[in-house]
């Protein structure tokens, strides 16, 4: 059997029993997925996924980075280079390479969700290996051609109550419009991710600004017109269900410049005269501006800071972004967030959700901040920490200071559609295991633990994100 | 039942049995409380505590910050504003608000000590909730009017062998004098906390210096007179039992300036011409000066660095200090302490106890430093980490490098008088659980574990603080 | 009994059983010791070790720093001062002092390996104490005079398949030559540790450069001659089995200067005109140069950064280096390594093994880097973290991102020859315990765990270091 019914529960029998009881009540709750990167085209077109390699391997940098780290070239895995030079084109050959390296994933969350998916969706009972690679390929390939494996059918099978995709302000949201036109009832909403028009170091920033003006009808060559363009576009996104914005900055720095200074800074970054410090300051100021707009329009604000993007220069030049070379950086929150919190930290109607790639900030900075400011909430363990040990540390390091109710449940944050049930299942299991430990060490009563398990699995995400 | 006899012990039966045996030997040991913030007035006057809300909620920023973080305004909890504007005045209404939010404390140490107190002092068996808020209020309120709940009676009931309060050099120690005059035998000693006359950024620093001169009869407008004032005042504090000093600085920075540079720096900070860097350097220099005096007079020196005080500006302006908005900062010890350690780190008669709000320093910096320098000892898990998971991490992260005997037992560090037995009980249980784990994984023999449990619960604090 | 057959295994019976089964298969595997500090003279001369104090106490700063931290002076432990002033000369008196402080090591890895050694090599069944100090001394002293306790006999008894010592480029490798001449079959290889000729702040750096030129026949007053001297000396070291280089820098900084800038920098550092920033930049550049040579000659490169050496100034002046006062510093890898990784991170034939004294970098920086770059591998938990809790954290914090196969098994990194079997045994036990936890929480199948246990205990070190 690929997956065990007691996986991730405590080993000690008394604690395992509590975990089982807690999990039993939350295992079948609908999925709220308030932050992720699924492609709205899937839900708009409802076309079959092409083949196992194209579904599982080629688009997933968690998978191919591990093979790359052990000497498999990206070309051998069918990753398209920017210059169009040919890599492996045979999906079955790619799949075999992946299968023959499956041992590399031992002990990783990738392994957990793959086994879950192979077992629950495709009925496999034997671990993937070089020996059974073809049998795996054939069965998955055949299944993908059936109606049950179309995106909308999976959406319903996964019991997704609501899912958010993430789009740039420059995106026309045509797929979201098509979903609405189609009459399909699945709740797929967008989220406003303005990095391309907020980060002066984003590729094509100046052209993006011009396009932003065309789309919104505002004069984005002026500071006030630029801000109005955001207001207009945020309203447009809300028409497609958006309840949140998301911001992926290298640091958590915020600023609160005077009107004149902000205008002068905007002039420099929009005309290309910006220094790196200008760029950083502009991103900082824009976080505060986005917060101001959230106070006005009620959109929940998310900050995902602290990644050094595209660290591998040669790979970036050959293959572009998202090649598995985004590396976390030490991240300060206490000084960085103060300008924004000084203005909006006490706002009763503002929700500002913080994520981190620097675990040292959980207990030192994030839990104390979230345990105090009414506007602040902690997002779940993110990215490299979205795994059983990482999730456990998140609870151990934040709960004693911030409690459970300054956190917001789980985000799967994934592009890997088929992994969504597995990821939520892991989160529910890890939280139940953590709660079972509190119960069996007599820090929490079991009736309360049931309530908390429900809140962490369902209610907190739904309420924090207004879904 | 609100508290379970096996709480915080390992779940695995064999380890739990060892923990029970270890705990059995230390559970009833007297309490040594060498560092805390109880009010000496309580012991001097021995008056009844007014009512449940005034005792538990209004003065405790651990409690009200959690409600504040979830949208309850401080006015609703009776927290007095600086301008005297009226907040909630009905203690029963405050108590009801607290009770109806009791679920927010799930998984927190506040919940642990409150349940302990409600159970052991007031006999409650049912968890506090909105439904039983009035019943709780009435029973506690009635108890507080009885002689058994006067401060001195509780002192004896709590089996406190010695407790240290914390006072400014400007404090006349009148309550401590009154305690001595009263003939009551409870051992309440003061501790010397000179921040108001050492930190140039403390409110009223220059007036404080003047007052410091008046009190001590030294000319505090000169560097040498200022240092003499400290010597005189330290001696005065020792008359009221003080065996220690305490220093609450934003960083752990120390300095060892030449006489001339120190004089010039003192001139700048005492006349108000100081830059922020001057202020930081003066605090740094004063740590080394305080160490020099400790080498002379034998007072144990404590450093509590790394808190960004009053982070919430609006709240600070409206309500003042200690509103739950002190946030930890990343803290360096290795470079920061070198000037002081170069002078006094090898002194056999000097005890310098370090605390941290930055857990990353436990294994990286503090344990290696304390495992080497004769003068250095590690204070216990502090503030946000003074909780079961935090205490466990403290042991796991320091013991392998510094052992047990470069640590100093437990400090409750609290203003919440009724929480003291619960806090020491938690520390004893967590240490016994840690030791039980060492015993059952055969890293320590049980006879040794008994000795260590006693040392951690009682002997080390008594000896390190010379109490 | 001093050591228990189940030590360090999980307490829960089901998990303990799995750990036992895993351990059973790896306990007797040969020892690969690819990085350490044993003295090649031992193997060349094969003379008896002198006495218990000289073997265990005097050369081991892990042991004497702990006694020093509790007020025992180094003179009392026979540590020789630089000025030749006499300390304790009676080894039995030193041993008694050590024995009477044995309780200080409770909970430390030093205690674990000492008990292992006392039990397995000398047959003790009673814990060392002041009471049995003489009996211990006599039995060990007598054993050391027997042929079974000569270095080569122990080598075979320890089942060492290969061990690397560490030498400076200025070392003539005479002992290694003597080992080869002797016909003894034990595999003792050297490793190239060029700090004395790479670090401008190393004692005698300029004289070292001159000597480096004499030894190699290159003109080390020029940049190209200096680089050639390294090439020549690396080849010489390879003749004595060296497969690796090792670099002990204060930071992980690397650089990739132009030829002209590198030449100018070399001129400044080699003529004594270097600033501290020059020294740091030169070390940084030299890491990249060493990587370039490794790409050419296939030597595995190791980086051990982040120690503030000789932090205790008075002790350093009196006793010299390695007195237990090396303290870890916070260490950045992401920005620091980029210049080197930009050049060689994607090289298929380059192995670059990273160590850290800053545990915060495990999950935030090192695992993401090693889980991506083909050249990078993670060295095991190092120095203060080379202990059960530290090793457990290493796995918990790196496996979910980097897996097992971007790590390189265990290094004992020790000067304490008799501790080697105990250290490898601890590592094997901790890894088996970790794997047993994955198995019993159903994250890994037991057949896979057996394979991983073997890889971690033997294969990965052998392959990564090409031994």
Mean pLDDT of A254-273: 96
Tens of pLDDT, residue by residue over C362-414, are: 999 999 999 999 999 999 999 999 999 999 999 999 999 999 999 999 999 99
- Residues of chain C in contact with residue A127, where contact means CB-CB under 8 angstroms, are 445
State whether B7 and A332 contact (CB < 8 Å). no
State whether C69 and B332 contact (CB < 8 Å). no
Neighbours of B142 (CB within 10 A): 11
- Residues of chain C in contact with residue A70, where contact means CB-CB under 8 angstroms, are 374, 405-406
CA dihedral B148, B151, B152, B156 (to 10 degrees): 70
Whether residue B273 contacts residue B292, with contact meaning beta carbons closer than 8 Å, is answered with no
Tens of pLDDT, residue by residue over B268-308, are: 999 988 999 999 999 999 999 999 999 999 999 999 999 99
- Residues of chain A in contact with residue B68, where contact means CB-CB under 8 angstroms, are 372, 374
Please report the pLDDT score of residue B206 as a whole number.
Answer: 97
CA angle C311, C312, C316 (to 5 degrees): 105
- Residues of chain B in contact with residue C60, where contact means CB-CB under 8 angstroms, are none
Residues of chain C with pLDDT under 70: none
Sign of CA dihedral B182, B183, B187, B193: positive
Nearest CA-CA partner of B179 in B88, B58, B21, B43: B43
CA distance B237 to B176: 10
State whether A346 and B314 contact (CB < 8 Å). yes
Helices C223-239 and C276-297 meet at what angle, rounded to 10? Answer: 50
State whether C7 and B451 contact (CB < 8 Å). no
**Tokens 């300008």, located at residue:** A339
CA distance A377 to A204: 33
Whether residue C348 contacts residue C380, with contact meaning beta carbons closer than 8 Å, is answered with no
Chains that touch B (3 or more CB pairs under 8 A): A, C
How would you class B415 by CB atoms within 10 Å of its CB: exposed for 0-12, middle for 13-18, buried for 19 or more?
A: middle
Chains that touch C (3 or more CB pairs under 8 A): A, B
How many DSSP H helices and E strands does chain B contain? 22, 9
Tens of pLDDT, residue by residue over A336-347, are: 999 999 999 999
Please report the pLDDT score of residue A1 as a whole number.
Answer: 80
Nearest-by-CA chain A residue for B10: A441
Q: Residue A249 phi/psi, 5° resolution?
A: -105, 155
Nearest-by-CA chain C residue for A387: C400
- Residues of chain A in contact with residue B315, where contact means CB-CB under 8 angstroms, are 346
Mean pLDDT of A353-360: 98
Q: Among B103, B308, B315, whose Cβ lies nearest the Cβ of A334?
A: B308
Around A260, how many Cα atoms within 13 Å sit in the side-chain half-sphere?
Answer: 0
Please report the pLDDT score of residue A273 as a whole number.
Answer: 85
Q: Which helix (H) or strand (E) holds A62?
A: helix A61-69
Mean pLDDT of A277-290: 98
Nearest CA-CA partner of A52 in A130, A113, A142, A123: A142
State whether A324 and C438 contact (CB < 8 Å). no
Nearest-by-CA chain A residue for C340: A312
- Residues of chain C in contact with residue B406, where contact means CB-CB under 8 angstroms, are 69-70
Nearest-by-CA chain B residue for C13: B12
Please report the pLDDT score of residue A331 as a whole number.
Answer: 97
Nearest-by-CA chain C residue for A66: C371
State whether B399 and C390 contact (CB < 8 Å). no
Mutate: best of A364, A378, A438, partner B, most B CBs <10 A: A364
Mutate: best of C363, C451, C454, C456, partner A, most A CBs <10 A: C363
Nearest-by-CA chain B residue for C359: B364
Tokens of A411: 């985000």
- Residues of chain B in contact with residue C69, where contact means CB-CB under 8 angstroms, are 370-374, 376, 402, 406
Give A150's pLDDT tier (boundaries 50, 70, 90).
Answer: very high
State whether A389 and C367 contact (CB < 8 Å). no
Q: Is the pLDDT of residue B84 over 90?
A: no
Tens of pLDDT, residue by residue over C288-330, are: 999 999 999 999 999 999 999 999 999 999 999 999 999 999 9
Tens of pLDDT, residue by residue over B156-180, are: 999 999 999 999 999 999 999 999 9
Percent of chain B predicted with pLDDT > 90: 98
Tens of pLDDT, residue by residue over B218-272, are: 999 999 999 999 999 999 999 999 999 999 999 999 999 999 999 999 999 999 8
Indicate the average pLDDT of chain A.
Answer: 97
**Tokens 């706002």, located at residue:** A347
CA distance B172 to B40: 12
Nearest CA-CA partner of B443 in C423, C125, C8, C103: C8
CA distance A323 to A345: 36
Q: Please give the domain boundaries of chain C with CATH numbers for all domains.
A: 13-49+149-464 (3.20.20.140), 50-148 (1.10.2020.10)
State whether A106 and C403 contact (CB < 8 Å). yes
Sign of CA dihedral A87, A88, A90, A94: negative
- SS3 at position A300: strand
Q: Among C9, C106, C313, whose Cβ lies nearest the Cβ of B342?
A: C313
State whether C107 and B404 contact (CB < 8 Å). yes
Sign of CA dihedral B76, B80, B86, B88: positive
Q: What is the DSSP string of B353-370?
A: EE--S-THHIIIIIHHHH
- Residues of chain B in contact with residue A370, where contact means CB-CB under 8 angstroms, are 69
Give the Å distances, CA to CA, from C268 to A275, A316, A352, C206.
Answer: 32, 36, 52, 11
């Amino acid at each position: 059997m690929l997956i065990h019914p007691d996986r991730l529960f405590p080993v000690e029998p008394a604690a395992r029993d509590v975990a089982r009881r807690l999990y039993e009540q939350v295992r079948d709750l609908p999925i709220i997925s308030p932050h992720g990167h699924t492609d709205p085209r899937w839900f708009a077109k409802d076309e079959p996924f092409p083949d196992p390699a194209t579904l599982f391997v080629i688009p997933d940098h968690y998978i191919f980075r591990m093979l790359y780290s052990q000497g498999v070239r990206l070309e051998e895995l069918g990753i398209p280079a920017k210059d169009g030079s040919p890599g492996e084109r045979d999906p079955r050959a790619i799949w075999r390479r992946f299968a023959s390296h499956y041992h590399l994933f031992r002990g990783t969350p990738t392994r957990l969700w793959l086994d879950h998916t192979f077992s629950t969706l495709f009925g496999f009972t034997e671990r993937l290996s070089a020996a059974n690679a073809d049998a795996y390929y054939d069965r998955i390939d055949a299944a993908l051609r059936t109606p049950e494996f179309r995106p909308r059918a999976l959406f319903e099978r996964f019991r997704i109550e609501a899912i958010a995709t993430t789009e740039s302000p420059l995106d026309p949201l045509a797929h979201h419009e098509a979903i609405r036109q189609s009459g399909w009832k699945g709740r797929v909403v967008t989220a406003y991710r303005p990095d391309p028009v907020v980060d002066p170091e984003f590729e094509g920033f100046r052209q993006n600004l011009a396009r932003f003006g065309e789309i919104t009808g505002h004069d984005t060559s002026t500071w006030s017109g630029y801000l109005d363009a955001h207001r207009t576009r945020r309203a447009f996104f809300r028409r497609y269900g958006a309840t949140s914005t998301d911001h992926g900055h290298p640091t958590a720095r915020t600023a609160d410049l005077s009107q004149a200074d902000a205008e002068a800074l905007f002039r420099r970054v929009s005309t290309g005269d910006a220094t790196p410090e200008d760029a950083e300051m502009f991103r900082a100021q824009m976080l505060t501006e986005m917060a101001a707009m959230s106070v006005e329009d009620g959109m929940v604000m998310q900050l995902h800071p602290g990644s050094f993007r595209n660290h591998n220069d040669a790979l970036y030049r050959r293959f572009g972004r998202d090649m598995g070379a985004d590396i976390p950086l030490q991240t300060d929150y206490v000084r960085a967030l103060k300008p924004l919190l000084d203005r909006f930290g006490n706002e009763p109607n503002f929700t500002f959700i913080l994520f981190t790639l620097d675990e040292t900030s959980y207990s030192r900075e994030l839990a104390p901040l979230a345990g105090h400011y009414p506007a602040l909430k902690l997002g779940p363990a993110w990215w490299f920490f979205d795994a059983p040990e990482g999730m456990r540390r998140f609870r151990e390091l934040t709960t004693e200071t911030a409690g459970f109710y300054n956190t917001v449940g789980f985000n799967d944050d994934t592009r890997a559609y088929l992994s969504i049930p597995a990821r939520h299942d892991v989160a529910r299991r890890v939280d139940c295991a953590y709660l079972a430990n509190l119960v069996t060490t007599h820090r929490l009563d079991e009736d309360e633990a049931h309530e908390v398990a429900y809140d962490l699995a369902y209610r907190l995400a739904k309420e924090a994100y207004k879904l």
